[in-house]
Structure formats: C-alpha cells, structure tokens
Amino acid sequence: MEKNSKIYVAGHRGLVGNATVNALKRHGYANIIGRTHSELDLMDQKQVKEFFETEKPEYVVLAAARAGGIRESIAHPTEFMLENLKIQNNVIWQAYQSGVKKLLFLGSSCIYPRECPQPMKEEYLLTGPLEPTNEGYAIAKIAGLKLCEYMHDQFDANFISCMPCNIYGEGDYFDTERGQVIGSLMVRMHTAKIENTPEVAIWGTGNARREFLFTDDLSEAIVFFLEHYNEKQFLNVGTGEDISIKDLAQLMKETVSYQGNLTFDTSKPDGMPQKLMDVSKLKALGWEPKVTLKEGLQKSYRDYLQTLEKNL
C-alpha cells in the first residue's frame, strides 16, 4: 500500500472509523475518503455502485455497521441483521466489481458460540449455537466474513477480515439506551454522580466476563492488517485479558468518582457468560495492544466530559 493510495473508510465518523482515519494519517496516508450517511446510504445498492464507479478507491476498510448494546440488540434483531447484511453485501461486492486491491471487513467477537471454550480460537467459529440476545448481529457478521473468504478463494480477491472484542474509547456512543456497555455505563454513573442518585442498577448478575480494546489500539491493528496481512483466515483482535462486569462497574465507579452503591438486576440477561479472545495468531505476527483498561477508561471519561461541555 503506497502512502498516496486512495483509501475509503466506510463509517469514518463512527468510533472505529474515526480512529482508523486518524491512525492512517499518523502513518503517513493522506488520500483518505469518507462519506456521511446523508451523502451515501450504504444500504442503497445503486448509490454504493455509483460511489465506487466514480471514486474508485484502491483500499477499503469496512467499519460501518448497525451496532449497539444488549438492550438494543434484543429490541431490534431484525434491523441488526437486515441492515448489516445490506451494508456488507453492497460494499464488499461493489468493491470487487470496481477493482479494489484490498478490503478489510470488521466483525465482532459475538460470532462465536454462546458456550464457546475460552479463550475463543478462530477455529471455534460455527461449532455451536449463538448467544440468543445478539444472534441477528452475529449472523450478519458471520455472513460478512464468509463472503470475504469465498471471494478470496473464488476470485483471488484480497478481501480479509478481523474480529475485534468489545471496543470503547474517545468518540464512543455515550447513550444509556443504544450505547454498548462502557459508553452506557459511563453515562449512567456520571449522571448518578451529578444528581446524587444513591445507587446505579446494572443489568444481569455482574458475573459475565468481557474483553475490552481501546479504539486507538484497534485502529493501529487495522493499519497493521492493511500493510502486512493478506490471508483468507480471519483473525481475532483483542487484549487477551477479560474482566467481569461487576469488576468493570467498580473500575468505572472509581474513574467517574461516583460514591453511590452498585446493584445488579438479575431479572435481566447477562448475555454470553464469557467472551475472551485467543489473540495468539495476531501476536505471533508482531502486533500487540498498548492501552490498559484503566488508562483507556480515563481517556474515555475525559472525552465524554469534553463532549458534555461542547453541548452546553
């Protein structure tokens, strides 16, 4: 990949897409293009076809997706599946049709079975039933990575995939209803702190374990994939370490300086019992994350406070 190569980052305003644009710039890539939803609806096949025919990007990072936390995933499985399938199919196929040299598809750790052995190795894909609370999203992501694999074999297309664990960081979607666990929990604890609310209730038992990767680390991994990886086999991207939701909540409490109590609503689902990625294959290639969870939460909270100030 040349420094002046034309790179299209789909979803460039999102948490991962924005960090990817910044990482590419840090590495000297200046010819980066993006389109907002109002400029290009990725679910519209005709619009996507016209975009690729006109712009002719050489490289594509497919970071655009309909995503959200467990509450949103349970409420809208149809949209999570249908919208992601439309986005993926349109971008991946039109990228091939227009002669894109390389495409990187971003999936999710939710592709693995609910009762998956831990840590989750790439070869455990499709070895058991999925977690019901995010099945629609998971099926879409599996379809995306499989499409890239098929095209890699059938057309010799350099279309590759990576499966990140839970992502958080600066520019996160800070929303209690639609946000994922860290963004949602941060908003709720900060609000409780400001309003002197005596307790914050958290979904589930708190025993479920999750792995979290700071968005800047993922963006560096994306550049690494673009520069160094060309294989059909998708790879996990994560830290190789996880934390219980209960311990995460306590760490968030310290980050926000919330003095109230934490309670757990056991009538609500935990989701998968554990989602810890085996990242040995990626580490063997020479890539490792740098930001600790504690440091990443502090950076995220500063970003959230700055966002609140801007909106005053």
**10-residue block means of pLDDT along the chain (312 residues)?**
96 94 97 97 98 98 86 87 97 98 96 96 97 93 98 98 95 68 91 95 93 97 98 97 96 96 92 93 97 96 90 74
- Among 137, 229, 258, 304, the active-site one is 137
Integer CA distances (angstroms), 197 to 190, 194, 312, in order: 10, 8, 22
pLDDT value at residue 68: 72
8 A C-beta contact, residue 301 and residue 186: yes
Unique residue bearing structure tokens 């990228």: 95
Residue 149 pLDDT: 98
- Measured CA to CA, the distance from residue 19 to residue 15 in angstroms comes to 6
Q: Which domains does the chain have, with CATH numbers?
A: 7-168+212-239+276-291 (3.40.50.720)
Which pLDDT score, from 0 to 100, does residue 202 have? Answer: 92
Judge whether 289 and 224 are in contact, CB under 8 Å: no
- Number of residues in the chain: 312
- Give pTM, 2 decimals: 0.94
- b/e 146-164 (16+ beta carbons within 10 angstroms → b): ebbbebbeeeebbbbbbbb
Q: What is the pLDDT of residue 176?
A: 55
CA–CA dist 87, 91 (Å, integer): 6
C-beta neighbour count of 284 within 10 angstroms = 8
- The pLDDT of residue 70 is 73
Strand positions, DSSP E, 109-181: 159-164, 166-168
Give the pLDDT of residue 179: 61
CB 213 within 8 A of CB 167: yes
State how far the alpha carbon of 49 is from the alpha carbons of 56, 62, 63, 87, 91, in Å.
10, 15, 18, 12, 8
**Which H or E element spans position 214?**
strand 212-214
- 207-249 pLDDT, tens digit per residue, is 999 999 999 999 999 999 999 999 999 999 999 999 999 999 9
137 given a catalytic annotation: yes
Quote the pLDDT of residue 178.
58
pLDDT at 89: 98
Residue 85 has, within 13 A of its CA and on its CB side, a CA count of 13
Q: How far from the centroid of its chain's Cα atoms is residue 115's Cα?
A: 21
